[in-house]
Structure 1
Amino acid sequence: MGPGGGGALVMRCTGVTRGGKRCTLPAVYDGYCHLHTPLRSAERRRNASKAGRSRGRARGELQALKDKLARLIESVETGRLDPKRAGAIAQLSNAALRALELERRWRETEELAGRIERLEERVTGGNGHVW
């Protein structure tokens, strides 16, 4: 029995968090939650690898944009580039930054939606009912 005398007893995951504390999620796989079960370790590695690659690409694009802006600043300071033209290029660079941010948010939203969908399937057992 749970606290207060009603409800079913829920077994907690036996996994340990990165902070060294015992996980507080319910155990659903042989004593582990979906985050700690050895049955899903390959999937977790794949997901982490995908996330790392997407961050690396975005980081490269941002670095390229920063390098370009640094060259623009130097060109304006040395008189090799008209400030009006540099201003137009800077505005376009700002639009590129906004597009990168939108792409990041979109990708993040899609990843979260997929995770929520998988969690809902686990909770409902695929039939749409919680219990």
Structure 2
Amino acid sequence: MKKHIVVFAFLSICNSVIGQTMEKEDLYGIWQVEKNLTETTDPNFKELIEGFLVSTFRFEENGTFEMNSPNKSKLFLMTLEMIKNKKWKFDHYRQLIKIGSEKDSFSIMGIFVKEKSGKIIFQVSESNLEFEMVKI
């Protein structure tokens, strides 16, 4: 029993030192990219990055998700079309925003959320795209 208490205390301390976890309520509102953290020479990724840099992400309490961007590149418009009129939900344990619908199991796009040095980072799953975000 004593061993379990020590292990639990150790894990609790590690969790608070490594980083804070986000709650769903922390995500409500409008977010925009403050800084690109992605390094790439791939022209397709550069085109996507340019689209994300001028985008806003809206996460509403009722699960509505909206992403807007003035970027009109073909590749980025395809991304916007894929997520148009989709919902979002948050997997607290994985710290993952899942975008889609019940029908597609919220699998269209995923965004891992982490806090690093007091900054909120969104990392688009299935890619190396990573952005420092700010709520506006």
Shorter-chain TM-score: which interval? under 0.3
TM-score (norm 1): 0.23
- Identify the structure with the greater helix proportion: 1
Instruction: Using CA pairs under 8 Å that are at least 6 residues apart, name the structure with larger relative contact order, 1 or 2.
Output: 2
- Identify the structure with the greater strand proportion: 2
